[in-house]
Structure 1
């Protein structure tokens, strides 16, 4: 492969980081990327979106996460260059000519994220990975101009690593696999800023035992239990943080708020900032996308609290001032009850389109058997002393128990008012009572008629 180099800084730049201690910048191109307006925009996009409504410390941003992934990628390259340098072509060891490429890809892997990424993507049919590749390859961006200083085709190569089409699997899997720099950083970082401890794992041990091989990256036997701990931590973070019912409730409110705004805008009755207006009209450009961040969105939400449309104004107030919807778990059997519950909610004065939702949150903590397809996962391999590779779940009973399992739940969201009955009789109390007959201990249940007894 071609050798890609950047001018080395006369003096290393060091950034203090609460998760990794220090982030070390040694190359001019990395420092120049950091200074671009597209990368600085990441400071204004929270990593976990509405999760801060549940865990108040979770206000960290995509900016520090991208830097964290860069730093872990840099450390892994250091380890590989020192312990596993290639000796001859095709020996499966590390060619350090890939270093600058994978470091830049790690730093830019999330550059395409917008505000409230997944909710925003669902409503406006955007894709942060494809937009990220566009930002990297578009000649009008500062990022593209910085990368071209390395080589004319360097932006396209960085984008191909993020797109997982770059031909060297070691480079791709360093930032995109079941045990990559991206996941290792966001688990540790999200655990730190949410204040939970079960997202922590022995990162230093994992880095000590990571190694390259012909088809990617694996771990030595000495690192098996640290990787096992990493899988368990990922499972816990999804169940306790990412799938938290109140966080999901705020996402539902956000989605309905934007859906209502889109409807009102198309009717010509919405005050909105220009950059968001183009999304609501369906005529946005990359430049419009880059002007959006959490602050722009919240400015619009604040304006909408005074909207003449009562639903939009109410949803904006509920989102900005943390008034989540209530929810209950549902399953395949109890889904049949939802039309009845929605009808009761409608009779109580709430439009079910905007005040109810069915939301699924499921995750596979680990899956060793999806080699291809949309949800492809790369196996985590453990290298034996003789060089043989064994897939992790074959060695770990804990991972075997999680392997291929689907963890999470499906919930029905509705206004909290439906769960309240006032001390003084009110007009809607009979509706509330009828609604609550189906709600038991956070579950939606069928009403069971008592069995008749004969004497």
Structure 2
């Protein structure tokens, strides 16, 4: 295998998490493009800043961080696998550059306030990945990417869009898994540490250097599978636990969730046909600033709650797990509330499940394996009793109500318990 290419990275951006991030002149054309600059005005964590005041960082810096970590992971894996990866110098150069561009652009299709708007995409464009691909294909970003591709082995903007949407040929699977995989990738590596730093919490911290230096791959039927060398098992445990704690303590925080719900309803009132525009130029006009300006200038119940911190208060909660014996009761509570047809300004039910971490695929093969000293791959649970027990989903069931409906909701809950527990 040829040596890892070096780039003429004459530009440096100083990042609070990673220090200096080096960028080429061509990459700066992407960063300075209006599609990418919009990310300065898209908060990484939606309404979390109303709970943790430091959570004002945007998708812009996160995307730079993913580029930085993706490149670092790629270079380490290439350096360890010269005997099994048969790419020549040009192919390495090509895939490394593709990885950097895809890492930069993977979040450009986020709605205002990021995941707050996940349910506001049209049926035509189902999610932010689809919108990211559309922005690449249908703006002049495509011309910039093609120009960079011609200099770096011959890739196109459509291949970058395919990487982000997940529609890729097998020869690009490695770089896809580096920036956006199933369990461990540069995206998660960056946001856990970045969010912890900006919020001033320690839940998301782990040993980044040791984790990255323990990453490796194994080739199975010509498919590269990301793996962790045996020496990195404790760093992997730290990483998975950090993700678990950030979800339970930050991302699914009770106050953040109700503000997300209120803001989602505010945005529905502003948007044509209750969903985000399909046309790229129109979509680019929507960012956090535009939403906040609308909320300030258009009084209604949702906007007033958001601006004046007058959110509905928590009345009932089951989190982070719902016991098996309570699932029937929860369903009964939901049905009783739905039948009463409360207004959203009176009662909001938050029901959400964060899927379990799957260390195996449907065939029983490891999604991420532990690589021993003899290059044999093992299932995670053979090496870590901690990780074998942390693969439960996280359940959110919360009921929020205003002061006038609080006592009524409590009676509904009591009625459901009485009905379901009746002998």
TM-score, length of structure 1 as denominator length = 0.78
SS of equivalent to 1:69: helix
Equivalents in 2 of 1:124, 1:229: separation in Å? 35
2:148 corresponds to which of 147, 150, 155: 150
SS of equivalent to 2:357: coil
Equivalents in 1 of 2:231, 2:131: separation in Å? 39
Aligned residue number for residue 273 of structure 1:
none
Equivalents in 2 of 1:388, 1:74: separation in Å? 26
Aligned residue number for residue 171 of structure 1:
175
1:211 corresponds to which of 213, 216, 220: 216
Instruction: Go from structure 1 to structure 2 and tell me whether the alpha carbon gap of 1:41 and 1:83 turns closer, same or farther (over 3 Å shift).
Output: same
SS of equivalent to 2:417: coil
Q: How do 1:95-110 residues align onto structure 2 when only pairs under 5 Å count? A: 95-110=92-107
Contact 2:267-2:291 at 8 Å conserved across structures: no
Contact 2:347-2:405 at 8 Å conserved across structures: no
Q: Could you list the runs of 4 or more consecutive aligned residues of structure 1 that deviate by over 6 angstroms after TM superposition?
A: 4-7
Deviation at 1:413, TM superposition (A): 2.3
- Cα deviations by residue, 1:109-142 (Å, 9 ceiling, x for unpaired): 111112133332313434210111111122x33x
- Cα deviations by residue, 1:27-48 (Å, 9 ceiling, x for unpaired): 2221221111111110000011
Equivalents in 2 of 1:322, 1:370: separation in Å? 44
Aligned residue number for residue 315 of structure 1:
302
Deviation at 1:353, TM superposition (A): 4.2
SS of equivalent to 1:60: coil
The answer to whether residue 43 in structure 2 is matched with residue 46 in structure 1 is: yes
Deviation at 1:406, TM superposition (A): 1.3
Equivalents in 1 of 2:283, 2:46: separation in Å? 17
The answer to whether residue 192 in structure 2 is matched with residue 198 in structure 1 is: no
Aligned residue number for residue 135 of structure 1:
135
Equivalents in 1 of 2:98, 2:234: separation in Å? 31
Larger RCO: Structure 1 or Structure 2 (Cα < 8 Å, ≥ 6 residues apart)?
A: 2
Equivalents in 2 of 1:85, 1:379: separation in Å? 23
Deviation at 1:324, TM superposition (A): 1.8
SS of equivalent to 1:158: helix
2:401 corresponds to which of 414, 427, 437: 414
Q: How do 1:81-96 residues align onto structure 2 when only pairs under 5 Å count? A: 81-85=78-82, 89=86, 95-96=92-93
Aligned residue number for residue 321 of structure 2:
none
Extract unaligned runs of 5+ from structure 2: 319-326
Contact 1:136-1:155 at 8 Å conserved across structures: yes
Contact 2:296-2:303 at 8 Å conserved across structures: yes
Aligned residue number for residue 369 of structure 1:
360
- Cα deviations by residue, 1:72-130 (Å, 9 ceiling, x for unpaired): 01212332344433576389xx9454111111111111111121333323134342101
Greater CA radius of gyration, 1 or 2? 1
The answer to whether residue 399 in structure 2 is matched with residue 390 in structure 1 is: no
| RMSD of Structure 2 on Structure 1 (CA) | 3.3
Equivalents in 1 of 2:87, 2:371: separation in Å? 18
Q: For this pair of structures, how many residues does the alignment match?
A: 396
Deviation at 1:62, TM superposition (A): 0.4
Instruction: Go from structure 1 to structure 2 and tell me whether the alpha carbon gap of 1:399 and 1:68 turns closer, same or farther (over 3 Å shift).
Output: same
Instruction: Go from structure 1 to structure 2 and tell me whether the alpha carbon gap of 1:281 and 1:45 turns closer, same or farther (over 3 Å shift).
Output: closer
Deviation at 1:243, TM superposition (A): 0.7
